[in-house]
Each structure stands twice: as structure tokens, then as C-alpha cells.
């Protein structure tokens, strides 16, 4: 894709799942990546794998809800790579609770899913202002629909969807584009574990279930790589006239 090679990205939550798929895709496109993640094992392993394959990456141990950690990772990225062109806000916490949610659960969800994304944009944007840049936030179809027992998570993702529009407007005069992607069900490690341990389902069973795979027009769930490709597109110069957009990557879920 145009305009990716030789650039530098920070990918939060880049050690696993969609974030790891984004890291791998961007490295394939010639992007150097900071993997900002809380996992002390998977984060360094992801960076080592990229380096071993000839790419450029390092792991920053970052909780995106802690501003000092975000600021430090941004500054170290500039020191290591000389610039920042892209930010992908993949880090998230999955608090699947309804009205029974505790104050602590609400705060943790909002601190990571809303404030964490805002803090990353706050500290990255000044380093993009001279050349411009592109940011992709990870929202969810859950921010656009009602789901039983999902109040806390859906509220946070709805906030991300509209926060993206506000950020796009505020940063447009700095030539920084801000978009969001809204995945449907993605078969990553966490989802696989949830379906296997809680729902007692294999992937095929989940895809055959009318309430899981059946909710998507394509009658299946997504692989992380199918989310990473559109994210790379939104960062690239091929999307140079797209900002403030919430792209649905949901196999037709929200169109039904």
C-alpha cells in the first residue's frame, strides 16, 4: 500500500490478537513498530519474532490508562526510530457486564477503552504535526448495537466511535487523519478461549450457531488478519481522503 514503507507506528495491544496481526501486516509493509502492551511475555516475544524475520520492532511495557507510561513509550519511540507516523489503538479490556457492574468495573473499562485511547492520541499527535499522520482506533460493532449483558463494554465502544469523529475534526488542520474500525466477532486467542471454556464450542460450532456466526451475512467469524488489512489501508496514502470514518468490518452483521 502506498505511503507505508519506511514509516513508524505505535500499536497498543500489539502482543496478541488483532494487535499482533496489525504488527505483522505493518512490518510486511516496511513499517517499524513499537509494540505497546501490558503482557510481559507475549510482548517481547512478538518483538523478537519481528526482529528475527528482519523487521524493526521493540516492546514497550505500557498500561495505556497510565499517562506516564504512555508518554515514556512515545518518547522512546521517537528516540529509537526518529519519528512517529501512525498510531493503532488496539489495547482494550473486556468487561462484559450489565447493570450489575461495580464502580471498579466501570472505571477499569472506561480507563482503558476510552481514556487509554485518548491518552495515546494526546501524546502521539504532537510528533505527527510537522508531517501529518494517521490514527486508527479500534471500536466494535458492540458500540452500535444493543446486546444483553454487554452494557459496560458497549458503552465504552460507543464512546470510541464518537471520540474518533471528534479527534478527526480537532486534528484535521494538522493533517492527521483519525478513523475507527468496528470488527464483528473475531476468532482470536481470547475469543477462542471464551467459546471453548464458557460456551463449550469449537470454531466450527460457533460459526454454525445462529447467534454467533449466523448473525453475520457471511455466516462465519473473522480472522485477525482480516481486520489488520483494512487498518493498514486506513493508515496508507490510499486512504488519504478518509477521516472521521467508522468502518464496519463485520461480515455484514450491522447491515442485517
- pLDDT (tens digit, 9 = 90+) per residue, 204-228? 999 999 999 999 999 999 999 999 9
Question: Are 57 and 141 within one domain?
Answer: yes
Q: Give the residue numbers marked as catalytic.
A: 153
Question: Are 43 and 125 within one domain?
Answer: yes
Domain containing residue 80: 8-184+223-248
Does 194 score more than 90 pLDDT?
A: no
Question: Are 164 and 191 within one domain?
Answer: no
Q: How many domains does the chain have?
A: 2
Q: 122: which residues sit within 8 A by CB, 6+ positions away? A: none
Question: Are 93 and 195 within one domain?
Answer: no
Question: Are 90 and 124 within one domain?
Answer: yes
Residue at 253 is within a domain:
no
- pLDDT (tens digit, 9 = 90+) per residue, 73-131? 999 999 999 999 999 999 999 999 999 999 999 999 999 999 999 999 999 999 998 89
Question: Are 191 and 91 within one domain?
Answer: no
Residue at 80 is within a domain:
yes
Q: How far apart are CA 149 and CA 52, in angstroms?
A: 43
Residue at 178 is within a domain:
yes
Q: What is the pLDDT of residue 34?
A: 98
Residue at 172 is within a domain:
yes
CA atoms within 13 A on the CB side of 112: 19
Question: Are 195 and 179 within one domain?
Answer: no
Residue at 2 is within a domain:
no
Question: Are 125 and 80 within one domain?
Answer: yes
Residue at 256 is within a domain:
no
- pLDDT (tens digit, 9 = 90+) per residue, 121-144? 999 999 998 899 999 999 999 999
Q: How far apart are CA 85 and CA 7, in angstroms?
A: 6
- pLDDT (tens digit, 9 = 90+) per residue, 174-184? 999 999 999 99
Question: Are 143 and 201 within one domain?
Answer: no
Residue at 82 is within a domain:
yes
Amino acid at each position: 500500500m502506498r505511503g507505508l514503507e519506511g514509516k513508524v507506528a505505535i500499536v497498543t495491544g500489539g502482543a496478541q490478537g488483532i494487535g499482533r496481526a496489525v504488527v505483522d501486516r505493518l512490518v510486511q509493509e516496511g513499517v517499524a513498530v513499537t509494540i505497546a502492551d501490558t503482557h510481559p511475555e507475549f510482548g517481547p516475544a512478538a518483538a523478537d519474532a519481528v526482529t528475527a524475520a528482519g523487521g524493526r520492532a521493540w516492546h514497550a511495557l505500557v498500561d495505556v490508562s497510565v499517562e506516564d507510561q504512555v508518554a515514556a513509550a512515545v518518547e522512546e519511540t521517537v528516540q529509537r526510530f526518529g519519528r512517529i507516523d501512525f498510531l493503532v489503538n488496539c489495547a482494550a479490556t473486556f468487561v462484559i457486564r450489565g447493570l450489575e457492574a461495580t464502580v471498579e468495573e466501570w472505571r477499569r473499562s472506561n480507563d482503558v477503552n476510552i481514556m487509554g485511547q485518548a491518552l495515546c492520541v494526546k501524546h502521539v499527535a504532537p510528533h505527527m504535526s510537522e508531517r501529518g499522520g494517521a490514527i486508527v482506533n479500534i471500536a466494535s460493532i458492540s458500540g452500535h448495537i444493543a446486546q444483553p449483558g454487554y452494557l459496560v463494554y458497549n458503552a465504552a465502544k460507543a464512546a470510541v466511535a464518537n471520540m474518533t469523529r471528534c479527534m478527526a475534526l480537532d486534528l484535521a488542520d494538522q493533517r492527521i487523519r483519525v478513523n475507527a474500525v468496528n470488527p464483528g466477532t473475531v476468532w482470536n486467542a481470547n475469543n477462542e478461549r471464551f467459546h471453548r471454556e464458557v460456551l463449550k464450542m469449537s470454531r466450527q460450532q460457533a460459526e454454525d450457531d445462529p447467534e454467533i456466526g449466523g448473525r453475520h451475512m457471511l455466516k462465519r467469524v473473522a480472522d485477525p488478519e482480516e481486520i489488520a488489512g483494512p487498518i493498514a489501508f486506513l493508515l496508507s496514502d490510499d486512504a488519504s481522503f478518509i477521516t472521521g470514518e467508522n468502518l464496519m468490518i463485520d461480515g455484514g452483521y450491522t447491515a442485517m
